[in-house]
Amino acid sequence: MITSTIMKKITISTLLMLSLCAAGAAAAPVKTPVKAAPLKPAPARPAAKPSAKPSAKPAAKIVAAKKIAPAPPVEAAADAPKAYPLQTIAFPGGVTMTQMVYRSLPGFRPLTLDLYQTSEKSFPRPGLVFVHGGNWVGGDPRHNGTFGDFPGLLAGLAAKGYVVASVDYRLSGEARFPAALQDVKSAISWLRDHTGEFNLDQTRIAIWGASAGGQLASLAGVSCGVTALEPPGDAKDKPASDCVQAVIDWYGIIDFENMWPDLGKPAPDKSIEGDYLGCEPALCGVGIARNASPLAYVEATSPPFLIQQGSDDVTVSPKQSQALYEALRAKGVPAELVMYPGVMHSFARSNAPPGTADPATNMAAMEKLEKFLDATFPKKPATSPYAPPKRQGLPY
């Protein structure tokens, strides 16, 4: 009986709950899905009101009407030398030095030169290109051997009537031979392309280098017309000549194949010359060391040379300078060899601590250089720079 009564109560409670749930469900409003309203288009941008004053530069109309021209190649930046001077310094005598980019190559730092010139523009002036030393691994256009204020010295030459350019180039850690030579040749050609801007007489350009720069200057001087050593470029381009009319070599390597025998030393396993060439001179493939040697290119058409070195040089044997002098004279090329007794590499004194300057030798070397240029260059510009016939191949 008790169980039956309990079951009845549970059943009645359950039915009551179900009834309440049903009633609540019936009373709740049925939710219908909301329909998204269509997006309204953005209001049209009002047209710009015409300006009361016409634009000074109608470039926008040209760009809108025509197809935009492609960006100029990387080297085009060097075609505007006055647009981006990196630095300008004033010297006594109305001389200014301006640092300029002369060559830009993809993947390399911009190559610069320091241009020294006066404000006097009455007549075109002969040019003098300096190539610094530093074992092809260092150095810069504003230092040279034991000379103290080298920029001041170059400015002094500019004050005496020259347009002077001190050139930077790629070092052996950046690119191997013939990259540095091609940079120097590019600088000469670039200067000729801008002779009017710099008041430069393109028919009278000399190149001057010391140590590693002496090798590059000598090679640039005797390899005029050797197409294999010219800077690579677009076949459509016709750059100005990279030939020079005079060369001053200060204690540069002239013959890589004989540099160690000339010093009476065995060839080392590793050398700075090997870093420059990409192989040790004694172990290079056939012709590589020879092709980098100025001695291999001497011809009757080579320009006049002034060769200067210390007789006690143990870095580059004086035999190298002697060999160059004899080769030039054998071809009938005007050449002068000056050996300074008791003087070492970089015109340093031999009876003093390494690198000690010898002011007397430095002064004598500069006086000789100026006399050589004065005697070699004609007093008036020629009609056009001399360019000998092209020589297609390398010596080996």
Residue 172 maps to which CATH number? 3.40.50.1820
Alpha carbon distance 86, 273 (integer Å): 32
Asked whether residue 391 is domain-assigned, the answer is no
Catalytic annotation on 132?
no
pLDDT of residue 328: 98
pLDDT (tens place) for every residue of the chain, 396 residues total = 444 443 444 444 444 343 434 444 444 443 444 444 443 444 444 444 433 333 333 333 333 333 333 333 333 334 444 445 678 999 999 999 999 999 999 999 999 999 999 988 888 999 999 999 999 999 999 999 999 999 999 999 999 999 999 999 999 999 999 999 999 999 999 999 999 999 999 999 999 999 999 999 999 999 999 999 999 875 557 789 999 999 999 999 999 999 999 999 999 999 999 999 999 998 998 899 999 999 999 999 999 999 999 999 999 999 999 999 999 999 999 999 999 999 999 999 999 998 899 999 999 999 999 999 999 997 777 665 555 555 656 776
pLDDT of residue 390: 59
Number of domains present in the structure of the chain: 1
Asked whether residue 24 is domain-assigned, the answer is no
Catalytic annotation on 313?
yes
pLDDT of residue 370: 97
Among 172, 211, 317, 321, the active-site one is 211
What six digits make up the tokens of 85? 């001077």
pLDDT of residue 47: 42
pLDDT of residue 67: 36
Domain boundaries, position 165: 86-376
Whole-prediction pTM? 0.77
Asked whether residue 16 is domain-assigned, the answer is no
CA 367: distance to chain centroid?
30
Asked whether residue 107 is domain-assigned, the answer is yes
Alpha-carbon distance values, 40 to 33, 36, 37 (Å):
21, 12, 9
Q: Is the dihedral of CA 280, 281, 286, 287 positive or negative?
A: positive
Among 262, 302, 345, 358, the active-site one is 345
Alpha carbon distance 294, 222 (integer Å): 7
Among 114, 183, 255, 313, the active-site one is 313
Asked whether residue 367 is domain-assigned, the answer is yes
Asked whether residue 342 is domain-assigned, the answer is yes
Asked whether residue 191 is domain-assigned, the answer is yes
pLDDT of residue 378: 79
pLDDT of residue 8: 42
pLDDT of residue 129: 98
Torsion of CA 134, 139, 141, 146, to 10 degrees: -70
Catalytic annotation on 345?
yes
Asked whether residue 61 is domain-assigned, the answer is no
Q: Using H for helix, E for strand and C for coil, what is the string for the chain?
A: CHHHHHHHHHHHHHHHHHHHHHHHHHHCCCCCCCCCCCCCCCCCCCCCCCCCCCCCCCHHHHHHHCCCCCCCCHHHHHHCCCCCCCEEEEEHHHEEEEEEEEECCCCCCCEEEEEEEECCCCCCEEEEEEECCCCCCCCCCCCCCCCCCHHHHHHHHHHCCCEEEEECCCCCCCCCCCHHHHHHHHHHHHHHHCHHHHCEEEEEEEEEEECHHHHHHHHHHHCCCEHHHCCCCCCCCCCCCCCCCEEEEECCCCCHHHHHHHHCCCCCCCCHHHHHHCCCCCCCCCCHHHHCCHHHHCCCCCCCEEEEEECCCCCCCHHHHHHHHHHHHHCCCCEEEEEECCECHHHEECCCCCCCECHHHHHHHHHHHHHHHHHHCCCCCCCCCCCCCCECCCCC
